[in-house]
Amino acid sequence: MFITAAPAHAGRSCEAQKPTAESIDRGMRLAQQASEALETEFKRDGSRVAMLGRAGQDLGKYGLRYSHLGWAYRTPEGRWRVAHKLNECGTADGYIYRQGLGEFFLDDLWRYEAVLVVPKPEVQQRLLSVLQDNRAARTLQHKPYSMVSYVWGGKYQQSNQWALETLALAMEPATVRTRSQAQAWLQFKGYEPSTLRIGPLTRLGGRATRANIAFDDHPNEKRFSDRIETVTVDSVMAWMQRTEMASRPAVLVLAVGR
């Protein structure tokens, strides 16, 4: 079964903060916008799967706009759900969740903006069969979690990495059964990770104070030259456009004052 009970987040800290009426209202309105956009795609051409990204933290200093992605899919009953990996608060563990759009956008967002990317029909069909099957969706799930896990490593797995590796599994089910095989397929298909410039003081401070941050899976020659290569929403979107696996991203911005 998918884990749904424990407090969990992706790409941000877990300080105890009660949601405010304003944050709940904004999150739900953004979820409604996403739902309307997804339904528009469904009615137009039958689209039932989309990549959905959110801005849970400010990554501007790294040249990134979004922090976390999930695979949104339409159930046979006509409801939109999101399959994604979340980090259990205060731990170095990550699990796969299946949530509604409201839950997806109630995670204390940094910016009330979302991005929607609709894969080509063949990609959707392959992904849908995996996302609807609990066992298949967990095939490449790896519990040890680091927010900045090495893109081509196997020691940890962050949220966006699970989503991307699961895409590889869906596209090549006959040959991709392990994370290393998924990564080999992604390299063959030209996926390029984001390179974050993170200095030694930041690395040491993050590892010492946060259970969900580790750098020891990165190759020494890259880590000690401050090059942290990891999977990001922005890099996945760019790759899917470059390989013509998906349509152009649609940005959803919550209108202020609505």
- 137-147 per-position pLDDT tens digit: 999 999 999 99
Question: Quick check: 13 pLDDT over 80?
Answer: no
Question: Of residues 206 and 19, which shows the higher confidence score?
Answer: 19
Rounded alpha-carbon distances, angstroms, from residue 13 to 9, 89, 109, 122, 172: 8, 8, 12, 37, 35
Question: Quick check: 17 pLDDT over 80?
Answer: no
Report the mean per-residue pLDDT for the chain: 90
pLDDT of residue 255: 77
Kindly provide the residue ranges of all beta strands, DSSP E only, lying in 40-79, ordered along the sequence.
49-55, 68-74
- With contact defined as beta carbons under 8 Å apart, do 131 and 49 qualify? yes
Both tokens assigned to 16: 């105890």
Neighbours of 84 (CB within 10 A): 22
How far is residue 85 CA from its own chain's centroid? 7
d(CA 38, CA 41): 5
Q: What number is the average pLDDT over the span 165-169?
A: 98
- Residue 113's DSSP bridge partners are 253
- With contact defined as beta carbons under 8 Å apart, do 198 and 224 qualify? no
Of the candidates 68, 66, 64, the one whose C-alpha atom is nearest the C-alpha of residue 82 is 68
Residue type, 203: R
Least confident of 40-49, 73-82, 106-115, 182-191: 106-115
Neighbours of 220 (CB within 10 A): 8
pLDDT of residue 201: 47
This prediction has a pTM of 0.92
Of the candidates 191, 168, 156, 186, the one whose C-alpha atom is nearest the C-alpha of residue 85 is 156
Least confident of 22-26, 118-122, 192-196, 231-235: 22-26
Question: Quick check: 44 pLDDT over 80?
Answer: yes
The SS3 assignment for 250 reads: strand
pLDDT of residue 256: 63
d(CA 115, CA 91): 28
